[in-house]
Amino acid sequence: MERRARWANLTENERAKLKAAHQKAMEDPAVRAAHDKLRQARREFREVMRPALLKADPSIQSILDKLRAERPGRD
């Protein structure tokens, strides 16, 4: 949500330039490797956090299920 607000403050030209620079940067092997590490760390965090949340308050199961349903294609 915060990211959307920041992007909304940019012009179309600024967004296009930033997107092009991002795509080019993602071609860098070091950036790709760091991105892969980030994705893995996020996955590991979710695998630990969800059970911890449910242990702290089992009644939030339906809330977590609702959030998961709103993000199709995400694990």
For the ranges 11-15, 24-28, 56-60, 67-71, the lowest mean pLDDT is seen at: 67-71
Do the Cβ atoms of 35 and 26 come closer than 8 Å?
Answer: yes
d(CA 39, CA 1): 19
**Among candidate residues 3, 30, 33, 34, the one with its CA nearest the CA of residue 19:** 3
Q: What is the pLDDT of residue 73?
A: 64
Q: What is the pLDDT of residue 1?
A: 60
Mean pLDDT to the nearest integer, 12-26: 96
- 75: DSSP letter: -
